[in-house]
Amino acid sequence: MIWDYRKITFITSLAVLAFVLPMQKGIDPVKRRESRANRILRTCTKTTYPPTCYNGEIPKTLSVGSLADSFEIVKLIREKDHTFLYCHDVAHLLGRAAVKKNRKEWRKTLADCQFGTCANGCLHGVVQEVVKEEIHAPLTGAARQSLTTICQGDSTWRPNIFEKSHCYMAMGSVFNYFTNANISASLLLCDEATTGGDGLAYARLCYDGVFDQIFRPKEREDANLVRGKAPIKEAVRGFCDQFTSESFGALKQSSCLNETWPLFRQEVSTPEGLEWFCSQGKDTEGADACYKVLFQRVAQNNNFDVSKIADFCRHISTSRQALCLGAAAINAMVTEKEYKIKVQDICNVLDNPRVSQECDSIIKQFMSATQEELFCASPAGRSRK
């Protein structure tokens, strides 16, 4: 009788599954994503700092859905929780998780990363996870060739200028793992990775990636890797000067100086402090790169509030106001596609025709042909014709 009971129970369970599973598959995917987003919101809004909670919960949705589904969930959560404007970190984690889910399809994952969303954190994550398994293997032959050419793309992934930029910066941080955070060795790998094709134009970004990880590690394993490598605030000049003797030394030194900004977070949060930081001991090219990087942060630091961005840029030297606005607008565009409609507002906010025109030009210089087509089709683009 016991066997009969178990048999009946087993058959009954199969019957229930046969009935329930088709019903689950038939659930409206939009409602399913909304349900998951609401569940995560209920969990995370009870915590001290919800964005950190989102970074833990959202990647779990990949186990039951696609990368596109997870990004839709990110979007739904951001619509309801306005403290979650900057989603680069969770996108980074989604990229890594997607590769772990199906490593053989990592090139397809790159293409699925939804360029223009969450400051391309997904692309960073994919690149870092792809090479992670090779870190402890000798970096020679085909492996070295594959690693140092990954950002050029292939028939499966054809990166535009922004995607290449983020890829090269991600590779800079990846190289630190191969060299055990030997900065000079990592910079040499950047040199090798940027010698072919149009790579040389991206050399600074690769250097930036090396130093960004030193001064701003994003994950626990990053922090463990670079522990003790960064100098104290008062010693950054001497620390960065050591790289001037290497090939492209001036470029590497200024990249190092620029990426020390986390040590001067309080200073660069004001217009006066930012200009002071970017003018300290840098050549013209290095100073320009510094302004571009930190002006882009103005947008996210002010929650993409146009009036606050305007107030910050208004107090920047007149000759740099257009760059301040243009870089902030670009950051809005690459952080989230929907922000493209605000580009016109940002460029025109100071009611200065010259600044507005220069701001327009700066944006176009940063955009690839594909992005320019997308921009021209947007409300902001159409309004400028």
Q: Is the pTM of this model over 0.75?
A: no
What is the distance between the alpha carbons of residues 86 and 24, in angstroms, rounded to a whole number?
33
The DSSP letter of residue 336 is -
Dist. CA 104–CA 130, nearest whole Å: 10
Quote the Cα angle for 179-184-186, to 5°: 40
What's the pLDDT at 354? 94
Distance CA 277, CA 307 (A): 24
Q: What is the Cα–Cα distance from 87 to 44, expressed in whole angstroms?
A: 15
Task: Supply the pLDDT for residue 283.
Answer: 77
What is residue 201's predicted lDDT score, i.e. its pLDDT? 81
> Quick one: CA dihedral 230, 236, 238, 242, positive or negative?
positive
Residue 137 pLDDT:
56
- Is residue 298 within 8 A of residue 315, CB to CB? The reply is no
Output the pLDDT for position 88: 84
Q: How many residues does the chain have?
A: 385
Which DSSP string corresponds to 175-196?
A: HHHHTTS-HHHHHHHHHHHTSS
Regions of the chain where pLDDT drops below 70: 1-27, 115-116, 132-148, 197, 334-344, 367-385
Domain spans of the chain? 28-123
Mind listing the pLDDT tens digit for each residue in 77-128? 998 998 887 788 899 899 999 999 988 888 788 878 876 678 778 888 887 7
Check residue 294 and give its pLDDT: 94
Residue 359, Cα to own-chain centre: how many angstroms? 23
